[in-house]
């Protein structure tokens, strides 16, 4: 099982992540922390409020309609297309969130060859 500590700062720009409490589609209370105001990157972390020290999933948009999601407890990596409502599950990899461009390139290569 992959684990990631819920960060305080955006791994890409270092700004403090904006926190919100939301309800998931399963009606579970979650902590959402995101950096979504920058033009060159966006990232959202979600954690269950009863286990908020660890990330439930990370979501990174890779284009206007497409986003990548890493679900840590199940080690599931999904590509979601909101325009076509398509979801592709690709082989899991631990996202290296220390380098945004490298990560986006890796995801795009993955999509290309799957
Ligand atoms: Zn940021």
Convert the pLDDT of each residue in 65-89 to its tens digit: 999 999 999 999 999 999 999 999 9
Its domain, for residue 41, covers 18-112
* Count of domains for the chain: 1
Residues 114 and 93: their CA atoms lie apart, in Å, by 14
Residue-averaged pLDDT of the chain: 94
Residues 88 and 107: their CA atoms lie apart, in Å, by 12
Report yes or no on 4 lying in a domain: no
Look at residue 67 in the predicted model and tell me its pLDDT.
96
Convert the pLDDT of each residue in 20-47 to its tens digit: 999 988 899 999 999 999 999 999 999 9
> Model-level pTM greater than 0.75?
yes
Distance from the CA of 22 to the center of ligand 1, in angstroms? 20
Distance from the CA of 13 to the center of ligand 1, in angstroms? 4
Report yes or no on 1 lying in a domain: no
Distance from the CA of 6 to the center of ligand 1, in angstroms? 14
């Amino acid at each position: 099982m992959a684990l990631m500590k819920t960060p305080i700062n955006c791994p890409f720009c270092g700004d403090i992540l904006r926190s919100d409490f939301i309800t998931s589609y399963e009606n579970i209370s979650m902590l959402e922390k995101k950096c979504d105001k920058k033009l060159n990157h966006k990232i959202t972390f979600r954690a269950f409020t009863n286990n908020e020290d660890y990330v439930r999933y990370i979501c990174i948009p890779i284009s206007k309609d497409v986003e990548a999601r890493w679900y840590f407890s199940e080690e599931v990596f999904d590509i979601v297309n909101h325009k076509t409502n398509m979801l592709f599950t690709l082989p899991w990899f631990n996202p290296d969130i220390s380098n945004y461009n490298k990560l986006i390139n890796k995801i795009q290569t993955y999509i290309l060859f799957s």
